[in-house]
Chains A and B, each alone.
Chain A
């Protein structure tokens, strides 16, 4: 399995440096690694083929052969090409005059249409529009009710007509069109400027249901038609995207469930076969978790190189901003106490398991696997740290200098841990405090960058869970056993 494309590519070329020229064959070999990376990310086979052919031509034409760092240059070419293919970025929703603008959502079952309708309505409302939702999914049981509830949650009116819901096993002929038409009518009367049509999920090969969409399209002329696609889709994403686009002439794509750990190659596939821009990404269960698409970071994600920007935005969301600001100020002033250390720790813990956080950082995915192995241990150690912390007096937490042998023994007894663990905990904190002083002035981005270079002990120094109380002091996370594992792999 390929963890890190850049490592692999460097590997391909590394053996050659100092032994004269890099040949075309080396580049082809490198392209095979790129191909594997893309296929593992679920980019469609045909799309991969086209892509690698293009990149191969570029790589051969460029200076890769004479470059001092052919691996890096290859990565750059691949990356740039990916970004280019995912563009041009166009996340604008085109509105019409006179209103209402009609937006139709379509897609396979379970891709997330109804939820996305709610999210989109909230987003548009936030931009000062007055959207309305129309429940035109008359097939799935309780779909109408679901949209009604979502509308309530985001404070947007929903047009429903329960009498039109299809009987069990039936397709209500013409009913969806009627619902949409009535919804648009009502929108006009009540001064709503956007109508979002939630249609039933359907297979792209279901002629009857595809006919229903074409009917809506023909009769009501929606101004924007968006395909909602699951980011975890595999090779088949191209078939459905192609079919929907051929029958409806899509205006954009919305990829959902991007808050999972999928590499999301379906995005690239769907973009390539339809030629339609990706408008939004669904990135969470909450209804405000719909983001405009930005290709930065996406290329790295598809290539398995981590998404540092995503990590930062994730951190932004989950970190308590005020708390972080307060801690930051204390750090800068050098007043970082154990209380702050523990507070910081619980902030970082919110990001999820350490392995996941690290997997998002370029260059750390290999390491994150090893951390993952001992996830339980990390939790365990967090618990022990809390025990130690709770066994200290308030004054001790403020002034760790007070902790002499006697006090340490008392704490160890109170926490039910060894004396050496108390010592290590304090040492970790002190290291962390010193580090904080140095880093304090930097922003989040700077810290993340620092994390990579500070890997040995660095993470713990930044107050990440699992950092403290490590068995080996100097090597941070990588215990000897794990290191061997890495070599074997």
Chain B
């Protein structure tokens, strides 16, 4: 399911702006031929810490580089870069990023996350992607019956995108909405049902139980559902994201992340820790407010962005030509 996006320009633009905001030339770190020394290692550490990769993770990476350098295995910056890159990229497989579809009947995507992570917008993007790029019949399920006007917000998106929506009154039981949506999706021959849920902090136990209930209801109505359980993560989130992923996983078994708001200056490096510790891959990234601003996650480019360079540009041509 590889598709090319017109959003690459946006990503590049964002990176350029990042450079402006940080007011540094991001390429100074890996000037060709630069020798490794303590100053270089410190800079590397700083860069990674600023990308929210977490102090434990970063220390391990930098120590590994330092060790290799001491042993004389690597000497200059570009060698260091490739070692790090290799290390960060190992374990990411293509299958990781693909959506799992049901063999027959509707595929159910359950979408959850904390308040303000970007769930509803991400759902609009997924719906656009599935409908317009993959020719699927998409239905939305408005199971966020808690936040004021959440149903309205999703309804507006459904109208704009031309997909169906199942909704109840505000304040009604979200699991009941999911129940109805499952029945409707089956009877109307939908390919995909995307279930929106209310934002909740992972520390709110009763709300996490409510989420489990929604999942259970969906699982009972449709065979093998939910086929994907996506956690939407705000790219600006710090180390707390790990706990979020852990707790949501415990309640509903997360199968993948949607990393939203990556068009800002935040790097979202915390997803590397989530991948390492919980084996939850990133499936999609969000790069703006319109439905088209979604991309499948590309680890190579993501890691390049962590270094603060815009490498991965070779893909730009492919993207341009495919437009």
Which residues of chain A have a CB within 8 Å of any CB of chain B? 1, 36, 39-42, 44-45, 108-112, 115, 139-143, 145-150, 153, 168-169, 203-205, 230, 232-237, 239-240, 242-243, 256-257, 259-263, 265-266, 285, 352-353, 356
CB pair B264–A204 under 8 Å, yes or no, is: yes
User: Can you give 11 A-B contacts (C-beta < 8 A)?
Assistant: A1-B56, A42-B238, A145-B149, A148-B149, A205-B21, A234-B237, A235-B49, A236-B52, A237-B238, A240-B265, A257-B201
User: Which of the segments B65-73, B104-112, B114-122 contacts the partner chain?
Assistant: B114-122
Interface flag for B318 (CB, 8 Å) = no
* B160: chain A residues within 8 A (beta carbon): 168
The verdict on A232 contacting B238 (CB below 8 Å), with A110-B115, A240-B265 known, is: yes
CB pair A142–B153 under 8 Å, yes or no, is: yes
CB pair B203–A233 under 8 Å, yes or no, is: no
A149 to B56 alpha-carbon distance, docked (Å): 44
A240 to B234 alpha-carbon distance, docked (Å): 14
Binary CB contact string for chain B from 183 to 211 against chain A (1 if under 8 A, 0 otherwise): 00000000000000000011111000000
A108-B264, A109-B289, A146-B147 provided; 14 other pairs, C-beta below 8 A?
A1-B56, A39-B49, A42-B240, A45-B46, A110-B116, A110-B234, A142-B155, A204-B265, A233-B238, A235-B238, A256-B116, A259-B201, A285-B204, A353-B205
* A45: chain B residues within 8 A (beta carbon): 46, 49-50
The verdict on A233 contacting B290 (CB below 8 Å), with A110-B116, A149-B149 known, is: no
* A145: chain B residues within 8 A (beta carbon): 148-149, 152
A44 to B49 alpha-carbon distance, docked (Å): 9
Interface flag for B1 (CB, 8 Å) = no
CB distance from A330 to the nearest CB of B (A): 29
Interface flag for B220 (CB, 8 Å) = no
A230 to B261 alpha-carbon distance, docked (Å): 14
Binary CB contact string for chain B from 221 to 264 against chain A (1 if under 8 A, 0 otherwise): 00000000000001011111101000000000000000001011
CB pair B240–A262 under 8 Å, yes or no, is: yes
A149 to B201 alpha-carbon distance, docked (Å): 22
CB distance from B168 to the nearest CB of A (A): 16
The verdict on A108 contacting B236 (CB below 8 Å), with A39-B55, A149-B149, A205-B14 known, is: yes
Interface flag for B297 (CB, 8 Å) = no
User: Which of B114, B116, B155 neighbours the largest number of chain A CB atoms within 10 Å of its CB?
Assistant: B116
Interface flag for B307 (CB, 8 Å) = no
Interface flag for B266 (CB, 8 Å) = yes
- What's the tally of chain B residues with a CB closer than 8 Å to chain A? 51
* A169: chain B residues within 8 A (beta carbon): 290
CB distance from B207 to the nearest CB of A (A): 9
* A263: chain B residues within 8 A (beta carbon): 239-240
User: Which of B21, B46, B155, B241 neighbours the largest number of chain A CB atoms within 10 Å of its CB?
Assistant: B21
A112 to B117 alpha-carbon distance, docked (Å): 10
Interface flag for B89 (CB, 8 Å) = no
Nearest-neighbor residue (CB-CB) of B56 within chain A: A1
CB pair B289–A236 under 8 Å, yes or no, is: no
Of B51, B203, B243, the residue contacting A235 (CB under 8 A) is: B51
* A148: chain B residues within 8 A (beta carbon): 149
Tell me the B32-50 residues at the A interface (CB within 8 Å): 46, 49-50
Interface flag for B157 (CB, 8 Å) = yes
Binary CB contact string for chain B from 1 to 34 against chain A (1 if under 8 A, 0 otherwise): 0000000000000100110111000000000000
CB pair A239–B203 under 8 Å, yes or no, is: no
User: Which of B152, B202, B203, B238 neighbours the largest number of chain A CB atoms within 10 Å of its CB?
Assistant: B238
Nearest-neighbor residue (CB-CB) of A45 within chain B: B49
* B156: chain A residues within 8 A (beta carbon): 141-142
Nearest-neighbor residue (CB-CB) of B270 within chain A: A234
CB pair A230–B234 under 8 Å, yes or no, is: yes
A262 to B290 alpha-carbon distance, docked (Å): 30
The verdict on A260 contacting B202 (CB below 8 Å), with A110-B261, A205-B17 known, is: yes
CB pair A141–B118 under 8 Å, yes or no, is: no
* A36: chain B residues within 8 A (beta carbon): 55
* A236: chain B residues within 8 A (beta carbon): 52, 236, 264-267
A285 to B116 alpha-carbon distance, docked (Å): 12
Of B155, B238, B265, the residue contacting A239 (CB under 8 A) is: B265
* B203: chain A residues within 8 A (beta carbon): 259-261, 352, 356
Of A39, A41, A233, the residue contacting B236 (CB under 8 A) is: A233
* A259: chain B residues within 8 A (beta carbon): 201, 203
* B290: chain A residues within 8 A (beta carbon): 169
A353 to B101 alpha-carbon distance, docked (Å): 36
CB pair B22–A146 under 8 Å, yes or no, is: no
CB distance from A307 to the nearest CB of B (A): 13
* B157: chain A residues within 8 A (beta carbon): 141
CB distance from B265 to the nearest CB of A (A): 5
* B289: chain A residues within 8 A (beta carbon): 109, 139
Binary CB contact string for chain B from 274 to 300 against chain A (1 if under 8 A, 0 otherwise): 000000000000000110000000000
CB pair A109–B261 under 8 Å, yes or no, is: yes
User: Which of A205, A242, A266, A353 neighbours the largest number of chain B CB atoms within 10 Å of its CB?
Assistant: A205
A433 to B151 alpha-carbon distance, docked (Å): 50
* A153: chain B residues within 8 A (beta carbon): 148
A200 to B270 alpha-carbon distance, docked (Å): 27
Of B21, B115, B238, B263, the residue contacting A234 (CB under 8 A) is: B238
Nearest-neighbor residue (CB-CB) of A262 within chain B: B240
CB pair A110–B239 under 8 Å, yes or no, is: no
A290 to B116 alpha-carbon distance, docked (Å): 17
CB pair A260–B240 under 8 Å, yes or no, is: yes
Nearest-neighbor residue (CB-CB) of A261 within chain B: B203
* A260: chain B residues within 8 A (beta carbon): 114, 201-203, 240
Shortest Cβ-Cβ A-B pairs, 6 listed: A234-B238, A110-B116, A42-B238, A236-B266, A146-B149, A149-B148
A356 to B155 alpha-carbon distance, docked (Å): 37
A237 to B240 alpha-carbon distance, docked (Å): 14
A261 to B201 alpha-carbon distance, docked (Å): 9
Of A141, A257, A265, A352, the residue contacting B153 (CB under 8 A) is: A141
CB distance from A29 to the nearest CB of B (A): 15
Nearest-neighbor residue (CB-CB) of B21 within chain A: A239
A51 to B136 alpha-carbon distance, docked (Å): 54
CB distance from A418 to the nearest CB of B (A): 29
CB pair A237–B49 under 8 Å, yes or no, is: no
* B155: chain A residues within 8 A (beta carbon): 142
CB pair B21–A261 under 8 Å, yes or no, is: no
Nearest-neighbor residue (CB-CB) of A282 within chain B: B115
* B52: chain A residues within 8 A (beta carbon): 42, 234-236
A149 to B147 alpha-carbon distance, docked (Å): 10
CB pair B240–A150 under 8 Å, yes or no, is: no
Nearest-neighbor residue (CB-CB) of B160 within chain A: A168
CB pair B50–A143 under 8 Å, yes or no, is: no
The verdict on A240 contacting B238 (CB below 8 Å), with A142-B149, A168-B160 known, is: no
* A233: chain B residues within 8 A (beta carbon): 236-238
A263 to B54 alpha-carbon distance, docked (Å): 14
CB distance from A113 to the nearest CB of B (A): 9
